[in-house]
């Protein structure tokens, strides 16, 4: 069956997986609308930085709305204005460790946010959804590799995984109640890597919660060393084993699911490579890709983690015609290409034209003494060299969000900055 025609709404489309999926949709000449509250994304000059780069890579325009899916009136306006035909739903909080510390935030954002989205879809007559689920719904696996028949909701080790399980159950119930509704649940494993251009990739807000971006930041010199959580698991080298999946393969998996989203019912697929790699194996692969040493120390296990988890994705290959093509070496090489070209992520690219800015500001503090501040802040409208005064004021304001009150900068105090 052909994919649902019409506009695709991508929630959380400015994030890591979302932006790569938007790029692939645009390459298929699909009309795309993105909504994102920017919790997991960096703001650019106008649109989120990731989407500005997607537009540059594809030569096409993305319609973007800065809003939370919990804001039902605003979301309904988007549906009605653009006649949304299909939704790809990424929007969620996503850190396993953080979910253990902040369970209510995860249930509020992930579960309530999905219910709000479904309410608006029902109001607007949209009956096609592709849901970003997770292998965490399997909990601690009873057997490996894990296929879609494996029990879910049993021995889930963290609130993040439970939110994904609850949402899956809601969607199953909805498909029973509404015989015209289609929900495709994509349970994917550990997305890593970056687009081949090196222009978009994973850019966590704050310390990374996942292995690959943390390894990348150690390799590029942003962090001194990596903490390996647990060296006593029942695995070949004692460290956790996961199924790492290139984000471009994952994005293409969502495109492969579009035809299935035209078929009523609930359709469930694993997206993974079928191969597990330990933390230490990933470190070695990244050292090879980057040519850099990766200092690390083994510390206590992290709450919510399981020893091993990797996929049987043969159902997706049979029914969707999808299979992962890229290797762990490809994943590490592309992640390094992204990180080495964008040391501080989206907000630090120098060069001609309009771009995000990070650099050194020499200025006089409010207390009267000279100070230098290195921050990931602000915008620059020029090329290499000094910025316009108005832009420096913008940078100054951004710096003030990071420094102590006694060191806050005055508009007249900015002397120069290097882009």
- Which residues are marked as active site? 160
User: 46 near 27, Cβ under 8 Å?
Assistant: no
Q: How many residues does the chain have?
A: 419
Cα 126 from Cα 128, distance rounded (Å) = 6
Strands (E), 231-369: 241-242, 244-246, 265-271, 277-278, 296-299, 308-309, 355-356, 359-365
Sorted by sequence, the CB contacts under 8 Å of residue 27 that are 6+ apart come out as 58
Cα 13 from Cα 62, distance rounded (Å) = 10
Cα 114 from Cα 124, distance rounded (Å) = 15
DSSP single-letter state for residue 108: I
The C-alpha angle with vertex 411 and arms to 408 and 412, in degrees rounded to 5, equals 115
Q: How many Cβ atoms sit within 10 Å of the Cβ of residue 381? A: 15
Output the DSSP codes for 17-61.
Answer: HHHHHHHHHHHTT--EEEEE-STTS-B-SSSBHHHHHHHHHHT--
Which phi and psi (to 5°) does residue 347 adopt?
Answer: -100, 35
User: 117 near 90, Cβ under 8 Å?
Assistant: no
Cα 121 from Cα 325, distance rounded (Å) = 34
Query: To the nearest 5 percent, what fractions of the chain are helix, strand and coil?
Result: 40, 20, 40
Cα 389 from Cα 366, distance rounded (Å) = 18
Q: How many Cβ atoms sit within 10 Å of the Cβ of residue 198? A: 16
């Amino acid at each position: 069956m052909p994919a649902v025609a019409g506009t695709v709404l991508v929630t959380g489309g400015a994030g890591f997986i979302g932006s790569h999926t938007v790029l692939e949709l645009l390459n298929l000449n699909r009309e795309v609308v993105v909504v994102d509250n920017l919790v997991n994304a960096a703001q650019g000059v106008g649109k989120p930085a990731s989407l500005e780069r997607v537009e540059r890579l594809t030569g096409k325009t993305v319609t973007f709305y800065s809003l939370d899916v919990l804001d039902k009136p605003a979301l309904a306006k988007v549906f009605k204005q653009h006649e949304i035909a299909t939704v790809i739903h990424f929007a969620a909080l996503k850190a396993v460790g953080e979910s253990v510390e902040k369970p209510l935030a995860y249930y509020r954002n992930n579960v309530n946010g999905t219910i709000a989205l479904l309410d608006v879809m029902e109001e607007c007559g949209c009956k096609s959804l592709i849901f970003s689920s997770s292998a965490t719904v399997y909990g601690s696996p009873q057997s490996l590799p894990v296929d879609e028949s494996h029990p879910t909701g049993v021995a889930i080790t963290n609130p993040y995984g439970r939110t994904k399980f609850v949402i899956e159950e809601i969607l199953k119930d909805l498909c029973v109640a509404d015989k015209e509704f289609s929900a495709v649940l994509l349970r994917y494993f550990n997305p890593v890597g970056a687009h081949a251009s090196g222009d978009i990739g994973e850019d966590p807000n704050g310390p990374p919660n996942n292995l690959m971006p943390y390894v990348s930041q150690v390799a590029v010199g942003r962090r001194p060393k990596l903490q390996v959580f647990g060296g006593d698991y029942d695995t070949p080298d004692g460290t956790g084993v996961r199924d790492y999946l290139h984000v471009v393969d994952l994005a293409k998996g969502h495109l492969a699911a579009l035809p299935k989203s035209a078929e009523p019912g609930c359709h469930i697929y694993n997206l993974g490579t079928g191969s597990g790699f330990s933390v230490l194996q990933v470190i070695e692969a990244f050292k090879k890709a980057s040519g850099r040493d990766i200092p690390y120390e083994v510390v206590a296990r992290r709450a919510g983690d399981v020893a091993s988890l990797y996929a049987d994705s043969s159902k997706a290959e049979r029914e969707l015609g999808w299979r992962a093509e890229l290797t762990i070496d490809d994943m590490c090489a592309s992640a390094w290409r992204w990180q080495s070209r964008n040391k501080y992520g989206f907000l630090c690219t120098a060069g001609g034209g309009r771009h995000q800015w990070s650099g050194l500001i020499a200025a006089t503090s409010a207390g009267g003494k000279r100070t230098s501040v290195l921050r990931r802040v602000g915008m620059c409208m020029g090329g290499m060299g000094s910025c316009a005064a108005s832009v420096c004021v913008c940078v100054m304001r951004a710096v003030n969000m990071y420094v102590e009150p006694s060191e806050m900068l005055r508009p007249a105090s900015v002397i120069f900055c290097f882009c």
